[in-house]
Structures are given as structure tokens and as C-alpha cells.
Amino acid sequence: MPGKKGKGKGKGKGKGKKKKSKKGMLENPGDVVKRLQRVYIAQCQAKNTVVSPDLKKFLKDCFEDNRLAVKFILEPIPGFEDPELTNVQLDPLILAIRAERFKYIKELHVWDIPLKHADVANLALMMEKGPYPISRLELIDCSVESYAAERLLRNCVGLTSITTLSLDYNEIGDSGCIGICKGLMKNETMISLSLCYCGLGVQSGTVLGQVVSTTAIREVYLNGNNLEAEGVSELIRLAVDHAETESYHRGQEAMKKADEEALALLAEKERSRVRTAFDEPGSKPSSAKSSKSGKKKKKKGKKKKSKEPPGPPPKGPLIYKLHVADNGIDMYGKGSTYAPIIAMRLFRTLVENSACLQELDLDDNLIGDLGGREIMEGLKARKENGLDGVKVAVTHRMNGDTFGEIMKLGSGLNKKKKKKGKGKKKKKK
């Protein structure tokens, strides 16, 4: 009888293993990234700009590890000087992504690279027209002007994936903020907005308040502007009204629940009364019979429910994180001495009643002893109402006991780091 053929063990030894492609992809992730890198370098040569060494190394690491590049960071080369080439630019990367239709990008961070209106417009067109699901966009200290910022978010309906936007350290002013808010009113996915050190004034507080109250934005970072007490009050006014309404409904629900529990307790006492001589021996209470008869056998082999994709975040005046440090909330702005106290009373109501509030940064604002006391009383009332704690930061320039109590009740706030050498222009007092 002829022997069985072997399974071919040892066959093909020494040959390299093929890189597996991800599910749904026709090519290996490493090959896709390598081709993007090649096109990016070619675009830099065509535009006479230097290739970003950090981005080049990152793409090389992704190719070697056979993984997709989803987070792109661009920043200039420090002290770069060349008579022919310019420093790192954004445009070659945008052209490379569009040429390769690289639809795997999720985050784009551009730091300290001056952007012209044409650069911002090209970026906006890429996000609006192409299949590029960018969820986080940062253009920090890029000299973005007001009309360029407005162009970025002009067609916000087309930006169906973006959730986080940061334009810190760009002097867009009130006009730029108004233009941004026009676009954001049509967006349904944005949840975090950062406009720190952007030269915003009182007018920006009003338009931002309308956006926060009617969209899904719930994290707002506005440190280093000049909203003053009036602008900050307009920013949170509708959120304060909503928090008071929610607190009233919670109180009504708690009273209703307490009444239902009291009725249930009385009914239980009635069922467990002492048996009389007329009760049949060995009989069980009717409640036990009904509970036993009401039990149904569990069917085996339950069908698994198919997971539905998550819908858009909820809209409305829901503020989770609000950072308004160094915004001129003091007695020198409009409204004089009483303006910071009136603003802090609104913040007290928000802290006391808002169940979703997590962080509140009021540092570097001279709110005074009375303003600090309002925040302290709000934190105490929040604790008595049984709501989750909120992290709070205030200036130490107030009564020591008040400041200590605020730090005790609202500690743990991690603040954004301020860029070295950057800050807002102080107003004359």
C-alpha cells in the first residue's frame, strides 16, 4: 500500500510573510501610507517647501508597522533658514491627501504655521467635498484672520464628522467669532470649541451663548479674552434657565417617588396583617399566589439585538466644561462694581442646579470676596442636592477662608497650558 503524501512541512522556508490587509481594504495599510508619503514629498518639491521631518518619520513608522496613519501633526522647523525653500507648509499635505483620497485621516493638528486665506479655503474644501472623516481639527497660532475663520466653517453642514475645533492664539476678534457662529448654528456634531486668546469681546459672549444654547456644543474654552462680566453672563444665561427648570423637575420627580414609596409601604403592611380565625389554615397570602402565578419561564436562546449606530449628540443649553479664565470679569468693565457679583450669582445658580456641569475655570478674574462667596454657596448647595462634584478654579485674591472652602469643594481642575510668550493685550484701567 503506497504511503500517504506529507503535508509539505518545511516548504517555502526563508520566504518573508505577506502583510495582511485590514478588513474592507484591498491593499496593505503600509503600502497605502508609503504611497501617501511619496506623494507628499513630491508635492513639497513642487511647492519649494521643506518636508516636515516629524511627519516623514511618523509615516515611515506607520509603513514599517503596517498600520494606517490617522493623526497628522504639522509644525515648523525651529530656526530654519534657506534661500530657496520655505519652512513647513500645510498645502502640500492637503494636496497629497486629496490626490491619494486618503480617507483614513481622523485628526489634523497644525501649530505655529502661518496660513493664508487660500490655505484655509483648501482645507475647508477638502473637509466639505471629500470622504475625509476629520473629527479633531487644531489650527493653533496660525495667523488665521477673521474672514479665513469664517470661510473654514461656512459650509458646516458638510462637516458631518468633526467634533472638536481649536483656533487658539488666532486674532479673529468679534467679527471672526460671529462668522464662526453662523456656520456652527448649522452643525450637528461639534461638541467642543476652543477660542482661547482670540481677541474676543462682549459681543462674542452673546453670539456664543446662542450657539451653545441651540447646538450640541457642551465644552467651551475661552481663556484669555475680554468677554467681561456682561459677555460671560450672556454666554451662560440660557444654560442657567435650563438648569433651574431641570432642578424643578427633579424635585417634582423626587416628591412623586416618595409618595409612591409611601403608598407601597402602606399596601405591604395591609397585606402582612395578622391572620384572623376566618383565614383558612395553610393558606398563603394572595400576593404570594399572584407573584408565583405571574412568573413565566424564561425562553432559551435569546436573540441578540443588532447594535444601532450612535445618533448625533443632544442639542440644547447643556454646558459640561466652561473655561473663561482671564476674561476681565472685574469691577473695571461695564456695570462697574456690581457687574462681577451679578455674573457670579448666575454662576452660583448654574453650579447649584446643573447636573451635567463638570468643570468651571474662573481663574485670573478679580471677582472679589462677594463673588467668591456666591461660588462657595453654590458648591455647598450642589453637594446638599446630591449632584456630582464640579471642578472649579478661582483667583486667590479673596477672603482666605472662602478660597479654601472653594478649593476643598471643587478641587482637581486640570487647566490648559498657556503658550510661552503668548497672551492677550491688557486693557488700560
pLDDT tens digit at each of 429 positions of the chain: 445 444 444 444 444 444 555 554 567 899 999 999 999 999 999 999 999 999 999 999 999 999 999 999 999 999 999 889 999 999 999 999 999 999 999 999 999 999 999 999 999 999 988 789 999 999 999 999 999 999 998 887 667 789 999 999 999 999 999 999 999 988 889 999 999 999 999 999 999 999 999 999 999 999 999 999 999 999 999 999 999 999 888 888 888 888 888 888 888 887 776 555 455 555 555 544 444 444 555 555 555 555 566 666 778 899 999 999 999 998 876 656 688 899 999 999 999 999 999 999 999 999 989 999 999 999 999 999 999 999 999 999 999 999 999 999 988 777 766 665 566 654 444
How many Å apart are CA 11 and CA 365, to the nearest integer?
Answer: 75
Identify the DSSP state of 72.
E
Q: Are 311 and 188 in contact (CB under 8 A)?
A: no
Cell of 26: 484591498
Residue type for position 305: K
In whole angstroms, give the CA distance from residue 92 to residue 204: 34
Question: Residue 71: what residue type?
Answer: K
Q: Which residues contact 75 (CB under 8 A, 6 or more apart)?
A: 52, 54, 88, 110, 111, 112, 113
Q: In 3D, which of 187, 186, 178, 152 has the Cα closest to residue 167?
A: 152
CA-atom Rg of the chain in angstroms: 30
Angle 137-138-139 (CA atoms, 0-180°, nearest 5)? 125
What is the C-alpha to C-alpha distance for residues 111 and 140, in angstroms, rounded to an integer?
5
Domain boundaries, the chain: 28-105
3-state helix, strand, coil in the chain (%, to 5): 45, 10, 50
DSSP 361: E
Rounded distance, CA 124 to CA 90, Å?
A: 12
Measure the CA dihedral 268/270/272/278, to 10°.
Answer: -150
Q: Say if CB 216 and CB 189 are below 8 A apart.
A: yes
